[in-house]
């Protein structure tokens, strides 16, 4: 983000606590960005397997719940909505943690750099959590934010090495999308375009021959599904 004016907080204030600060500050635009990356798939954790097994055992035998043997997977779309919601929640733990930590880091920078009215942005990059579709990610972010974490005003969701299948697009694409909180000021449009262009330039400099989807209709992103992971 440096080519578009981003600076580390410690570059602006040498006394800033590096361990608590958000990642990038855009002083001219009055924007603070904290980047969180989902590197590992939560479904591979033993904790997730234990939780989902417990949920399945509690629901099995009820109408609409199929019998599953061994390590076969089932889709939450094929399950009763309440059971599907429980399963989705087991995947959302890393996102809830990311949101909470980002809020604290952005709040710290607002204080240390005397930027009380700065627009706080959570940039969430999915770089390895192939089980987390855009719907799961955005749903988890929405619930994690709730009426709390007021230093996060808006967010950006991107994928990197986790292509998605989007309705109306003939081949897998990676995603760059914005999300806003209904009771907060929106990310300034000029800055949104600037950071999107910077992301695309970064991809091209690294010779990643990908197609990027950044449609304006959020329902299309919500209904997207992850394609087979493609290594960068």
Q: Where do the domains of the chain lie? A: 2-42+93-226
User: Which residue, among 37, 17, 13, has the nearest Cα to 27 in the 3D structure?
Assistant: 13
Dihedral angle, C-alpha 204, 205, 209, 215, nearest 10 °: -30
For 212, the enclosing helix (H) or strand (E) is strand 212-213
Beta-bridge mates of residue 38: 126
Provide the pLDDT for residue 185.
87
Identify the weakest region by mean pLDDT among 66-80, 131-145, 183-197: 66-80
CA distance 91 to 42: 6
**Comparison of pLDDT for 166 and 91, the residue scoring more:** 166
User: Which residue, among 218, 230, 38, has the nearest Cα to 124 in the 3D structure?
Assistant: 38
User: Which residue, among 14, 15, 12, has the nearest Cα to 24 in the 3D structure?
Assistant: 12
Residue whose structure tokens are 């959020």: 218
Across the range 123-151, mean pLDDT stands at 89
Provide the pLDDT for residue 229.
44
Which tens digit of pLDDT belongs to each residue from 166-205?
Answer: 888 888 888 888 888 888 889 999 999 999 888 888 877 7
């Amino acid at each position: 983000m440096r080519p578009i004016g981003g600076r580390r907080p410690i570059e602006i204030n040498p006394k800033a606590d590096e361990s608590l600060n958000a990642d990038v500050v855009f002083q001219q635009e009055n924007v603070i960005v904290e980047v969180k990356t989902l590197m590992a798939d939560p479904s591979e954790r033993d904790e997730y397997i234990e939780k989902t097994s417990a949920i399945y055992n509690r629901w099995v035998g009820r109408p609409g719940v199929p019998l599953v043997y061994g390590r076969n997977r089932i889709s939450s779309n094929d399950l009763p909505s309440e059971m599907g919601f429980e399963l989705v929640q087991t995947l959302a733990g890393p996102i809830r943690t990311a949101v909470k930590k980002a809020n604290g880091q952005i709040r710290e920078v607002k204080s240390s750099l005397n930027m009380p009215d700065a627009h706080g942005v959570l940039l969430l990059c999915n770089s390895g959590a192939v089980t987390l579709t855009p719907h799961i990610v955005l749903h988890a972010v929405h619930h994690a934010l709730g009426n709390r974490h007021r230093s996060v005003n808006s967010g950006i969701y991107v994928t990197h090495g986790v292509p998605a299948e989007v309705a109306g697009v003939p081949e897998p694409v990676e995603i760059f999308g914005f999300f806003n909180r209904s009771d907060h000021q929106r990310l300034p449009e000029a800055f949104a375009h600037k950071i999107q262009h910077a992301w695309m330039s970064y991809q091209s400099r690294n010779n990643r021959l990908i197609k990027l989807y950044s449609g304006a209709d959020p329902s299309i992103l919500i209904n997207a599904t992850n394609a087979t992971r493609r290594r960068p």
